[in-house]
Chains A and B, each alone.
Chain A
Amino acid sequence: MAKVTIDGIEVEVADGTTILNAARQIGGEVVPPAMCYYSTLKDTGGKCRVCLVKVTQGSAKDPRPMPKLVASCRTPVMDGMVVQNITSPEVLEARKGVVEFLLLNHPLDCPVCDQAGECDLQNLSYEHGVGKTRYEEDRRTFEKIDIGDKIKLHMTRCILCYRCTFVADQLTNERVHGVLNRGDASEISTYIEKAVDNDFSGNMIDVCPVGALTDKTFRFKSRVWFTKPLDAHRNCDKCCGKVVLWTKGDDVLRVSARKDQFNEVKEYICNECRYDHKDMKDWTVEGPRHIDRHSVISQNHYEKIDMQKLKLDIDRQLTFQKGKQLPETTNS
C-alpha cells in the first residue's frame, strides 16, 4: 500500500496504482480529466496530456519534486508522494494550453454533431477552454468516411486519442484500422473502406471521446438530451447484455454500453445488442438511467434524491476531509 496526498487530501492505494486512479478513489474535483486514458483498455493514456499534474514530492524516500509535469494516467504513485492538481496554477495553465491545442483543429460543429451533450471534449472546453480562438488559419479537414457498415468516421473531429485502435486490438480478433501519416496530418483510417466488420467493433463508438466515430443507425435521429435513457438487459451469449436504451416514447433510438461516472465503459457489448435489437420487447427494462445532474442530458429533470447514495457521498467526503469543515451547501 502507498499513501499519497493529492491536493491536500490523503488516500491510501495499492502499489502500482496510477496517480489518476488514486485521485478517482478520492473522487470529486481533484480527479484530473482524461481524454485518451481508458481504464478498461490496456496501455491507453499518456497521449492527450490533459491529465498533467505536478508532483511536488516524489516519495517519502526521495522527496525531490519531479522536474516536469507528469501524465497522471501513466505515472504510478509512490509511498509519500505529494501531488498537486487543481491547487497548482502551473497545472491549470498547462491544461488550458492543452485544451487550446485540442480545439485548434477541431471543427466545433457541436450544433450538428451527434456527440454533443455527451462529449468529453465539450465538457473539458467548458471547464478549461476560452471563448475565443487565437488560431487564424484554416483548420485541417478530412472527408467523412464509412469505416464499417455501421460506423461513420469524421476524422476532422478526431483528437487522436488512439482509444479505438486499442479497442480493435484488445476486443476484436483483428485490427484493420490504425493511424496513417504523422504530425497534424495523421488520421485514423482503414486502407479499405468499410473494412471494420466484427462483433465488438461498435464499442469504438462508445470509447470515442468526441464525435469522430458515430453510430450510423443513430445519426441525426435526435439530440441526446431529448432522449430518455433506460437501463436494460437481455440474455446475450456474446456479451454481458447490460445496456442503456436511449428512447423516445416507445421507440428505441440507440443502444449503448453503460458508462460509469468517468464516462468509461466497464462492460463492453456486442454489435448484435447494439444494432439488431431496437425494440422494447427484446429488453427487460430495469429503470431510468442515472444521469449526473450537471450533464446536459438531464435537462434539469433531476431524479429524486437517493438518500442512501447522498449519505454515502457525505460520509466519504467526511472521511477524506478528516473533520475539515465542509463548504456550505447552497440550494440550487
Chain B
Amino acid sequence: MGRQILLEHINVPGINTFDVYRKHGGYASVEKALKTMTPDEVTEEVKKSGLRGRGGAGFPAGMKWSFLDRKSEKPRYLVCNADESEPGTFKDRYLMERIPHVLIEGMITSSYALGAKTSYIYVRGEYMYVIRILEQAIQEAYAKGFLGKNILGTDYSLDLYVQPGGGAYICGEETALLESLEGKRGNPRLKPPFPAVAGLYASPTVVNNVETIAAVCSIVNLGGDEYAKIGIGKSTGTKLISASGHINKPGVYEIELGLPVEEFIYSDQYCGGIWKGRKMKAVVAGGSSVPILPTELILKTAKGEPRLMTYESLSDGGFVSGTMLGSGGFIVMDETSCIVRNLWTFTRFYHHESCGQCSPCREGTGWMEKVLHRIEHGHGHEGDIDLLVDVAKKIEGNTICPLGDAAAWPVASAIRHFREEFEYHVRYPEKVKNPKHFELEPFVPASALATV
C-alpha cells in the first residue's frame, strides 16, 4: 500500500470527533499557517506542491488561487464544491462522512491563504446526513476556537457555513454552484468573467473540490516541496479513487499518483481483480464523463507503455486512445456487461441533468438518450450509430458549460472503441431484448458479425 495522507487515520475510532482528530495531529496546519506564515506564503506552498484540482479538470490549484483578484475591495470567498454527483464518484462523501474535520481544517487554512472572511461548503442535497455530520464538526470547531472571531488568538476571523444544494448535477459546475448558492436557478454563467474576478455575489471567489481543500492541510504540514515528491511529474500527491463495478473489492482507495493501472485493478491491496474470475472488458477511469477505454488501451497506452494513474499517462493519446483521470470514479466492467446499455444509462443521466439553458445540450442529450434507448431495446437501425456520432460532435464544444462535453465524450468514445457491439445490437434485435443478453450469450466480435 502506498503512502496514506488523507486516509491515514480513517479507521481510528471516533476520528469524526474533534478531540480524537486533534490527538492525531489534526488542525496542525491551521496552527502552523496562522501563527507562523503569511497568507501569501501558504499560497506559495500550495503552488510549489503542484497540487491539481481533484474535482475533475485537474487545473493546478495554486494557479487558480493566484488568479484571485486581490486588488478588489469586495470581500473574497472560498467555496468548497461538495456537490459530488458524477456517476461513479463517491470519494468526497467517504471523506466528509468519516473525517469531516480534515475538510474543516483545510477550509480554515485555505480561507486564511485567500483572505476570505466567509466561506461556504456547498453539499449536494442528497447528502443530507453528511451535512449534519459537517455541521456537528463545524460546531465543535467553533467551540474550540478554530472558527469564529480571532482564531487561536490571532486577528484572523472566519465564518464557515454549510449550504445544501437542491439535488442537481449541474450545480457541480462552479458558476452554476455560485448561482445556486446565491439562491437562484442553478444555470451556469457565461465566462468570462471567471469566478476569480466576479464569483459569489460578484466578488472574487475560489471554488475548490473537497479533496483539493483537504489536501491543503498536508501540504502546509509537510511543506510544498515535500508534498511534490509524492507522485510523478506534474501529477503530485495522493488521489482518492472511487473504485466500483465488477471488481472484487470496490471502495475508496488512496493511491500515490503514478501507480500502474494494472496494479490498481489486479493487486489485492486495491481492487483485487475482476469478480467471479471473469475477464475485464472496459474501464471508465475518471467518472462517467470521461471516455471509456477497452482493456488493451487502459492497461497499456497506444505506444505500448504501461498506463499509470496520473493525469498525463491516462490522457496519453488524446481522445483517440486515451481518457482522463477526471474525478477518480474508476468503473470496471467485465466481459458480460453491455456497453450500449451502460452508455444508455449514462446518457439518460445527462439528459435528466441538463439545465436546459443552451440549445445543443438541452436538445442533444435527450436525442442521444432516445436513440440509445432504441438501439439497446432492439429497435435501432443502420445509420443510428453514425447519427449518434454526429450529434455528439455537434454538442461537443458548442455549449456554455462542460456538461455538453461530458455528455458527448462517453458516446463518442464508446462508439469509437466498441462499434461492433452497437452493430450487433442493430442487426440482432431479438438477441438483445433481454437486458442480461451478454451474460446469457457472451459477445465475441468476430463470430457475432461474421454471418452478415
Interface residues of A (CB under 8 A from B): 45-50, 52, 68-69, 71, 74, 93-94, 97-98, 100-102, 104-105, 134-137, 159-160, 162, 178-179, 181-186
CA gap between A71 and B393 in the complex, in Å: 17
Q: Is B263 an interface residue when CB atoms closer than 8 A count as contact?
A: no
B259 contacts across to A, CB distance below 8 A: none
CA gap between A97 and B394 in the complex, in Å: 6
CA gap between A185 and B356 in the complex, in Å: 8
CA gap between A46 and B351 in the complex, in Å: 20
CB-contact partner of A94 in B353, B354, B364, B394, under 8 A? B394
CB-contact partner of B359 in A47, A69, A93, A135, under 8 A? A47
B367 contacts across to A, CB distance below 8 A: 101, 104, 135
Label chain A's interface by main secondary structure: loop
Q: Is B328 an interface residue when CB atoms closer than 8 A count as contact?
A: no
Q: In the complex, are the beta carbons of A47 and B363 less than 8 A apart?
A: no
A97 and B370 contact, Cβ closer than 8 Å, known pairs A49-B359, A102-B359, A182-B354: no
Q: In the complex, are the beta carbons of B355 and A137 less than 8 A apart?
A: no
CA gap between A101 and B356 in the complex, in Å: 12
Q: In the complex, are the beta carbons of B398 and A98 less than 8 A apart?
A: yes
Cross-chain pairs A/B with CB under 8 angstroms, 24 sampled = A47-B359, A47-B400, A48-B359, A49-B359, A68-B398, A94-B394, A94-B398, A98-B398, A101-B359, A101-B362, A101-B367, A102-B359, A104-B367, A137-B370, A179-B185, A179-B356, A182-B355, A183-B365, A184-B354, A184-B356, A184-B362, A184-B365, A185-B356, A186-B362
* Chain B residue at minimal CB-CB distance from A104: B363
CB-contact partner of A98 in B359, B366, B400, under 8 A? B359
B394 contacts across to A, CB distance below 8 A: 93-94, 97-98, 100-101
B358 contacts across to A, CB distance below 8 A: 46-49
B160-194: which have CB < 8 Å to A? 168, 170, 185, 190
A134 contacts across to B, CB distance below 8 A: 387
Q: In the complex, are the beta carbons of A160 and B190 less than 8 A apart?
A: no
* Chain A residue at minimal CB-CB distance from B169: A182
Interface contacts beyond A47-B400, A101-B394, A135-B367: sample of 4 additional A-B pairs, CB < 8 Å, sorted by A: A45-B190, A68-B398, A71-B400, A74-B190
CA gap between A299 and B190 in the complex, in Å: 40
CA gap between A162 and B353 in the complex, in Å: 19
CB-contact partner of A184 in B351, B397, B398, under 8 A? B351
* Chain A residue at minimal CB-CB distance from B185: A179
CB-contact partner of A49 in B168, B366, B374, B399, under 8 A? B399
Q: In the complex, are the beta carbons of B353 and A101 less than 8 A apart?
A: no
Q: In the complex, are the beta carbons of A98 and B360 less than 8 A apart?
A: yes
Q: Is B431 an interface residue when CB atoms closer than 8 A count as contact?
A: no
A181 contacts across to B, CB distance below 8 A: 356
* Chain B residue at minimal CB-CB distance from A161: B359
Q: Is B357 an interface residue when CB atoms closer than 8 A count as contact?
A: yes
B381 to chain A, nearest CB (A): 9
A251 to chain B, nearest CB (A): 39
B341-398: which have CB < 8 Å to A? 351-360, 362-367, 370, 374, 387, 393-394, 397-398
B365 contacts across to A, CB distance below 8 A: 183-184
CA gap between A71 and B360 in the complex, in Å: 13
* Chain A residue at minimal CB-CB distance from B379: A136
Q: In the complex, are the beta carbons of A49 and B185 less than 8 A apart?
A: no
A101 contacts across to B, CB distance below 8 A: 359-360, 362-364, 367, 394
B399 contacts across to A, CB distance below 8 A: 49
CA gap between A98 and B358 in the complex, in Å: 10
CB-contact partner of A52 in B168, B364, B366, B398, under 8 A? B398
Q: In the complex, are the beta carbons of B352 and A183 less than 8 A apart?
A: yes
Q: In the complex, are the beta carbons of A160 and B398 less than 8 A apart?
A: no
CB-contact partner of B398 in A97, A102, A136, under 8 A? A97
B353 contacts across to A, CB distance below 8 A: 182-183
Chain B 53-72: CB-based contact to A (< 8 A → 1; otherwise 0): 00000000000000000000
Chain B 219-257: CB-based contact to A (< 8 A → 1; otherwise 0): 000000000000000000000000000000000000000
B386 to chain A, nearest CB (A): 10
Q: In the complex, are the beta carbons of A159 and B359 less than 8 A apart?
A: yes
B387 to chain A, nearest CB (A): 6
CA gap between A45 and B353 in the complex, in Å: 22
- Between A48, A49, A184, A185, the greatest number of chain B beta carbons within 10 A of the residue's beta carbon is seen for A184
CA gap between A98 and B364 in the complex, in Å: 9
B429 to chain A, nearest CB (A): 16
CA gap between A188 and B352 in the complex, in Å: 18
CA gap between A183 and B366 in the complex, in Å: 8
CA gap between A80 and B400 in the complex, in Å: 25
